[in-house]
Amino acid sequence: MKKKMCVALSFCLALSLAVTALGKTKEQIKSEQAQSQKNLQDAEGKVDAIAEEKQDAEVSMNASREELARVLANVNIIEDEIEDKTAEIEEAEAKYNEAAEKEEKQYDAIKKRIRYMYENGGVDSSYIEIFLQAGNIIDLLNKASYAEQLYAYDRELLEKYRLTKEETKASEEKLKAELDEMSEIKETYQEESTQLEKTIEEQKAKVDDFDSLLSDAKADANKYRQEIQTQNAEIRAIVAAEKAEA
């Protein structure tokens, strides 16, 4: 009795699937299945192609991110160098101003000494006073030597301050030229980083597009797999129905 019921149920199931085939023959379903298999193959190929393109896009995006990190690191480095260079320029300017001030004071002191000598006919520590106070030839020579040393000292100081001014000015100009060059390099890095950020945004959007395309392609592949499974079931149902009728 149970055996007969099982046979009856199997027959009913086969008949149901056979009816679902809407009167199609086994050959028609196999033909449709062949097309479904081709569609599945194409869909799976599309999935693989999109996945590969997505991977390439992610590799490019990661490379751009690494490049951006390098550029931003260079920006930080050049900013530190600019800060140091600016401090050097300020130091050079301070040295120049100090030398210029000392030169001016020394020059004013010499002018005042000469003017005083001229107006008063000589006083202590003046060149003329030195000669007038000489008691003998040896004293005169000694005082003349002292006067010459004093004059040489004045000239030496002035020359020293002048050279210091020239050197610090040259150093300042060199430092400013280097600072300008650094600023240009920083600007180049900033432009590069801006372009890289834009590129990364575009690459990320491309990767997101691939995610959407990949999802659609996988959905198509699953649809064709389900079609093939249904077609296999329909074919089995038709074969079962044919055997039952026989």
Dist. CA 134–CA 74, nearest whole Å: 72
Instruction: Of 57-61, 161-165, 212-216, give the lowest mean pLDDT range.
Output: 161-165
* Residues 26 and 235 sit within 8 Å (Cβ to Cβ): yes
Per-residue pLDDT at 245: 76
Contact present, 168 and 101 (Cβ < 8 Å): no
Residue 47 near residue 217 (C-beta atoms within 8 A)? yes
Residue 105 confidence (pLDDT): 81
Band the pLDDT of 128: cuts 50, 70, 90: low
**Do residues 234 and 29 touch, judged by C-beta distance below 8 A?**
yes
What is the distance between the alpha carbons of residues 108 and 185, in angstroms, rounded to a whole number?
A: 45
Using alpha carbons, select from 89, 87, 109, 86 the residue that is nearest to residue 97.
Answer: 89
What confidence score (pLDDT) does residue 80 get?
94
Cα–chain center distance at 8: 75
Which of 110-119, 148-157, 184-193, 200-209 bottoms out in mean pLDDT, i.e. has the lowest?
A: 110-119
Query: Average of pLDDT values for 13-25?
Result: 53
Its pTM stands at 0.60
pLDDT band of 67, cuts 50, 70, 90 = very high
Which of 5-19, 91-105, 166-180, 199-213 shows the lowest per-residue confidence on average (mean pLDDT)?
A: 5-19
pLDDT surpassing 50 at residue 20: no
Mean pLDDT of 45-52: 92
